Structure 1
């Protein structure tokens, strides 16, 4: 019978939020009780961070497995120095305190998904000669300090789309939409305003959808999933009418942060505003959204769009996101700055994350109603990608892409 009882490791956070980040100190204690004097080879505590993805495709003889692994750091501290001859510990209760620092660096936040995870562990282990080691592991919640550089003043994102009706209906439909934020935290509320001009014989309903896109990568292979976190349905728009529809969309309090700095797992968010039209392709506008810690979003005004929206469609917004690489539906699309009139990304799509597009710049400075300080920096587009140039087509980027999965209404 083992003389080691109640082996345990405890730790505490110094920020009061139960999380750790790059450069933080992890203090804790390894405790146990010995029922008799015991000789041990070593006692150590170790912390590590790593990411892993794995999935299979096909079945039987055609089944193929895909996996990838990344290590971010490993820190090890001996509480009883390793000694081949052993160190005798007396009978009774023992407490060994430790204190180590998580390395600095660009490391992703903790994450768990269907085909992968990013885990940060704290492990304590006691080794004895001719015995299995006694150990214990506990996860620590890691929140990355690293986020993309985002302008501290965020104008509303605006976009528009125009659709000619098909053979089953006459006329056309025009929709413009504005989202008041492009950065937010879990629990925040974003305001959406859509103006719909229905010059057709069809009835339709505006819908608003917050989507989470998760992509797992192993080498050149990807596995993607699209999850709807929140969906709101507006009132019916009658034929030959014009309406302004608005909604308040709350970010779920348990939403994970945008994950961009892991090369084998990524998580992105999009707000999709679209019109549900029976027997027709739904016109839609897609806005990128970053979800991050409150320290990243506290500088933003959390208020309704107000009178600024009266001219929002004509005002540019500073968008620090490249146009998403989505396939374009067979209807004409015109987009305003900061929004993309492309369909929602589908799980079967592939995307080259090693060749990101340069950021776009706003075509002109925003109106004084949106920004009151004249000292704000104006982003400048890189010379190799001028704003007037057309972005690459989806087929030119992914000629071998598989068939698309239609999004549900």
Structure 2
């Protein structure tokens, strides 16, 4: 972003890399030798050993567990206010939600309990605020946006009221970003009573917005069997030894492979091998419960 101060104009920028991976299956050819592989279709067999223990994976697993517990945690708060100027009595506001994290397009249910034992009429108001923070070095820039902002019924003096507020989230709402060094997207739910000529009693909660497709625990992968990785490789053969012939059609440029053709050639990546005992996994996260 660019900031101006008189004739002085400065632009601030930053970047952060999230992922980078390089694997060389064929070494680069020298200028003298030219191409090291003939035109056509080829199969390359390779293997690599996964570490038996990994501190990084264990640390990530603990973080994910804590995060899942956090977004499932209910929230509750109470704010009392005693009236002094031009009025008397007091009022009490109690707000609670069933959890902290909600998915795009989901409905936030807020339970509100109001005791207006004052001499003033009050109005119930609530809002969902989005704050974006951009960071470049020691400089930062903030932006505020109200996703939802509404006013409910008036609560007369001396009355008690209970409300269930349903806040429908947009399907294209930006998800929460907390773990990025240069960018943050945060949400705050605010429920308050509008009192004329006095400070408003209010309750604020941090809210987490999740992707709509996050129907399961993050470490179990997305639903529907989607695999963002390359297809599994053919079965490995002992070395030294003779490589098995390629599957029919793979070495024929006139035959195009299709999804079902590899079912008998490529092993199932999710199949459990004999003697392998996986660690117990957490139950699938169901947003309806």
TM-score tier (shorter): 0.5 to 0.7
Matches within 5 A, 1:3-152: 55-75=1-21, 84=31, 149-151=67-69
1:198 to 101, 116, 136: 116
Q: How many residues align?
A: 202
Larger fraction in helix: 2
Q: Are the equivalent residues in 2 in contact too, given 1:154–1:300 (CA < 8 A)?
A: no
2:281 is the alignment partner of 1:295: no
Please state whether the residue corresponding to 2:133 is helix, strand or coil.
Answer: strand
Q: Which residue of structure 2 lines up, in the alignment, with residue 334 of structure 1?
A: none
Q: Are the equivalent residues in 2 in contact too, given 1:153–1:300 (CA < 8 A)?
A: no
Q: How far is 1:59 from its partner?
A: 2.8
Scaled by the length of structure 1, what TM-score is found? 0.42
Please state whether the residue corresponding to 2:108 is helix, strand or coil.
Answer: strand
Distance 1:185 1:296, change over 3 A: farther
Q: Are the equivalent residues in 1 in contact too, given 2:191–2:203 (CA < 8 A)?
A: yes
Q: How far is 1:56 from its partner?
A: 2.8
Cα distance in 2 for residues equivalent to 1:289 and 1:161: 19
Q: Which residue of structure 1 lines up, in the alignment, with residue 99 of structure 2?
A: 181
Specify every segment of 5 or more residues in structure 1 that has no aligned partner in the other structure, as ranges: 1-54, 89-93, 97-104, 107-144, 304-409
Distance 1:278 1:294, change over 3 A: farther
Specify every segment of 5 or more residues in structure 2 that has no aligned partner in the other structure, as ranges: 43-55, 58-62, 219-283
1:251 to 164, 169, 188: 169
Please state whether the residue corresponding to 1:247 is helix, strand or coil.
Answer: strand
Q: How far is 1:83 from its partner?
A: 5.8
Scaled by the length of structure 2, what TM-score is found? 0.58
Q: Which residue of structure 2 lines up, in the alignment, with residue 217 of structure 1?
A: 135
Distance 1:184 1:201, change over 3 A: same
Per-residue displacement from partner, 1:272-309 (whole Å, max 9, x unpaired)? 11112233322211112222223249635637xxxxxx
Distance 1:147 1:255, change over 3 A: farther
Per-residue displacement from partner, 1:222-258 (whole Å, max 9, x unpaired)? 2112211123322111112111122111222112221
Greater RCO between the two (CA within 8 Å, min separation 6)? 2
Q: Are the equivalent residues in 2 in contact too, given 1:202–1:277 (CA < 8 A)?
A: yes
C-alpha RMSD of matched pairs (Å): 3.6
Q: Which residue of structure 2 lines up, in the alignment, with residue 242 of structure 1?
A: 160
Per-residue displacement from partner, 1:323-355 (whole Å, max 9, x unpaired)? xxxxxxxxxxxxxxxxxxxxxxxxxxxxxxxxx
Distance 1:201 1:56, change over 3 A: farther
Matches within 5 A, 1:377-388: none
Per-residue displacement from partner, 1:167-222 (whole Å, max 9, x unpaired)? 23333221011111112211112211111111223222212212222111122322
Please state whether the residue corresponding to 1:149 is helix, strand or coil.
Answer: helix
Per-residue displacement from partner, 1:84-110 (whole Å, max 9, x unpaired)? 57969xxxxx999xxxxxxxx99xxxx
Please state whether the residue corresponding to 2:16 is helix, strand or coil.
Answer: strand
